Amino acid sequence: MKELTRPVRLAPGARVAVVATSGPVPEERLQAGLDVLRGWDLDPVAGPHVLDRHGEFGYLAGTDADRAADLQNAWCDPSVDAVLCARGGYGAQRMADLLDWEAMRAAGPKVFVGFSDLTVLHEAFATRLGLATLHGPMAAGIDFVKNERAQTHLRATLFAPETVRTLASGGGALVPGRARGVTLGGCLSLLAAELGTPHARPSARGGLLCLEDVGEEPYAVDRCLTQLLRAGWLEGVRGVLLGSWERCGPYERLRPLLADRLGALGVPVVEEFGFGHCDGALTVPFGVAAELDAAAGTLTLDEPALR
């Protein structure tokens, strides 16, 4: 697995586009998120369809075509320096193949931030554009709007990434050891759903795989991990970082399952790393070379997440 192209860091006055690629966005939270971005001396602009709701499927923020158009237009706008997703939910899978990836490649690299359902787009940016991305809080998310730790870590990553080259989680080793590789990952159920789709990553070989999820019962977590194992997708992975498992049942029930499914890989596994659907979530760059120390609960990047 190769390192990916790192976008340029942001500077005061940078224009950032906020788009809805998945679920419907609460207007009050969007406005609060835009205010946070303005407080960082950024120039946020919301996509034309960011507050849309699909007329038939209430779990979607407008039509697939409109969501895709907002993302593509923002990405291809030379005045936009970064694209932040408004929230997750569901819907990125439905619009990923509606994007003109050749046009987006021609537009050049820029910062992309999101998590959860946006796992689909993290994978697409990696495989279709060769671009490093940021798995971090979304502009209309509760964590972004209200949690100082989440805000502070994302802000540092965007403006001064050299100050957050080591991510210290406070978590511990499910399987001890140290490993080097290139970061990737996201929401477990979305990674499992990507198997067999066009342009899907063939495997996590050579990677430090970040996994988390929300609202999945332990049997469903088992099913997704087993699917990745049976498909050979986890062969050659160098290490695993486990984030939050919000509403996935008591962690004391989930922990033996994670050990059972991942322990046989023979690689370091760190748990409770503090990214994903949790308070104060860390921003984790994907597509960069790093070293994992499971016992210390640290991930140290070879270079800053952004240039």
**Catalytic residue positions?**
116, 212, 277
Could you tell me the two tokens for 294? 């499971």
Could you tell me the two tokens for 107? 């537009």
Q: What is the rounded end-to-end Cα distance, in angstroms, of the chain?
A: 20
